[in-house]
Amino acid sequence: MADENLARQNDEIEALASIYGTDFHTESAEHRTYSVEINEARLSSLLQVTMPSDYPAEAPPTYSLSAPWLKGLRRQELCGHLENIYLENTGESIVYLWVERIRQFMVEFGEEEEVQESQAQEVIAIQDTPKELAQEMDCPEIFSGEIISDRKSVFQPHLAAVHSQAQVGQVLKKLYENKKVANATHNMYAYRFLPDGSTHITQDCEDDGEDHAGGRMLHLLQILDVSNVMVVVSRWFGGILLGPDRFKHINNSARQILDSCGYIVPRQDDNKKKKKGK
């Protein structure tokens, strides 16, 4: 059975390489790990699959999907479609079916986004003041921090000063224009800002598939008492699970760029302690 599975895997790999050309990549021949880039409706996705020895006869391939545009319930919806494809085609080669279902989902998502964007533009044209329009057009400067590497996974932070929800959207849009960032496995972020004329902080976060990561980043911003800032941490998964260490790297990346950009101010009590220790 193992030899038969291997032969069927080789046939599938050959077919995928022929169909997708330069969009098909061999990540690790030894571990039978491959990836396919999918570009559709101005969106980008990267499907990475690993074929175990009992695939396709008895088990599905394992997979990870890098798609920064895909969040929350929509990600769960797509994962449900992929699971159904496997259940409906048990014992068959399914990577091609997965790729094309993701492509179809991207087309549907893009059409929905176009409708929403059109509606949003109509609302802006009616309601927005010139000042708000200017904020939406001008993207704040984005700073990128030092890279942290651990067991082939790579983490890199990005930071921008933000003062409105429109600027948060502009920062994300600008970052995703970078193909490397767009293809990261996760782009987690958190932000806090004080809107003009308000005394209440606006804040939010996004895990992007890395459960609780965004919330931890937001908690860091809160305990440091920083505002008018947005921090994004990109992670490129290297194929080896890091366990709790991944949260340490995410937190350290966020803290590092906040510090290097001058958002972390030493407390007076800390300075007194240092002087006493001399």
Average pLDDT over residues 264-275: 59
CB atoms within 10 A of CB 199: 6
Residue 62, φ and ψ in degrees, nearest 5: -85, 150
pLDDT at 277 over 80: no
DSSP state of 233: E
How many degrees, rounded to 5, is the angle at CA 71 between CA 96 and CA 119?
A: 105
In tens, the pLDDT along 229-253 reads 999 999 998 888 888 899 999 999 9
The 3-class secondary structure across 65-90, one letter per residue, is EECCCCCHHHHHHHHHHHHHHHHHCC
- How many angstroms separate the CA atoms of 204 and 222, rounded? 11
> What is the pLDDT at residue 136?
47
Contacts of 1 (CB under 8 A, 6+ apart): 54, 57, 58
Measure the CA–CA gap between 141 and 174, rounded to whole angstroms: 10
Higher-confidence residue: 154 or 274?
A: 154
Query: Which domains are present in the chain?
Result: 2-108 (3.10.110.10), 130-260 (3.30.230.30)
Q: Judge whether residue 216 has pLDDT over 70.
A: yes
Of 136 and 214, which is predicted with more confidence?
214
Region 149-164: what's the mean pLDDT? 91
Specify the range with the lowest mean pLDDT, choosing from 17-26, 89-98, 110-119, 192-201: 110-119
How high is the pLDDT of residue 120? 52
Are the CB atoms for 57 and 91 separated by under 8 Å?
A: yes
Instruction: Answer for the pair 102, 70: CB distance below 8 angstroms, yes or no.
Output: no
Give the 3-state secondary structure of residue 124: helix
Mean pLDDT, the chain, whole residue set: 85
Q: What pLDDT, on a 0 to 100 scale, did the predictor assign at position 197?
A: 77
69-116 per-position pLDDT tens digit? 888 888 889 999 999 999 999 999 999 999 999 999 999 888 887 776
pLDDT of residue 70: 87
Tokens, residue 272: 């007194």
The phi and psi torsions of 222 (rounded to 5 degrees) equal: -70, -45
Task: State the Cα–Cα distance between residues 95 and 105, nearest whole angstrom.
Answer: 15
Q: Is the pLDDT of residue 196 over 90?
A: no
pLDDT of amino acid 111: 85
User: Rounded CA gap, 48 and 112, in Å?
Assistant: 26
pLDDT at 169 over 80: yes
Q: What is the pTM of this model?
A: 0.51
Q: Which residues contact 134 (CB under 8 A, 6 or more apart)?
A: none
CA atoms of 128 and 169, how far apart (whole Å) = 16
In sequence order, which residues have a C-beta less than 8 Å from that of residue 222 and are 6 or more positions away?
192, 203
Quick one: average pLDDT of 15-43? Answer: 93
Residue 121's pLDDT band, with cuts at 50, 70 and 90, is low
Q: What percent of the chain has pLDDT over 70?
A: 87
pLDDT surpassing 50 at residue 182: yes
